[in-house]
Amino acid sequence: MNRQSDLLSELCDFLYPRSPYYGQFKPEYLVFNASLQDFSQRVNYICSLQTSGKLSPEEAYKQIHILWRQLKNAKKELKIP
């Protein structure tokens, strides 16, 4: 079972890579950085699906637009200038 959890951990690290945060340390900046990395990863997936023909350009645009609005709302809620 330990081997399976190692495999899942490696798979998760591959699918959802995280980069360390080097900016000014404030809790809200750290939370926003995590949101920004999540946004980036999801946009990458959407672009890959659209490029491979599994998603129409219009649907890709709609999904990215929704993600962008969520990111803007997160920034506003965290009161980041």
Domain annotation covers residue 15: no
The answer to whether 64 and 43 are in contact (CB under 8 A) is yes
Give the number of domains in the chain. 1
Domain annotation covers residue 43: yes
Domain annotation covers residue 42: yes
Domain annotation covers residue 9: no
Residue type, 23: G
Q: What is the pLDDT of residues 55-65, one digit of tens each?
A: 999 999 999 99
Domain that holds residue 28: 24-81
| pLDDT for residue 17 | 64
CA-wise closest residue to 78 among 44, 40, 34, 29: 29
Domain annotation covers residue 29: yes
Q: What is the pLDDT of residues 2-51, one digit of tens each?
A: 777 777 777 666 666 667 778 888 999 999 999 999 999 999 999 999 99
| pLDDT for residue 20 | 79
The answer to whether 11 and 3 are in contact (CB under 8 A) is no
Domain annotation covers residue 53: yes
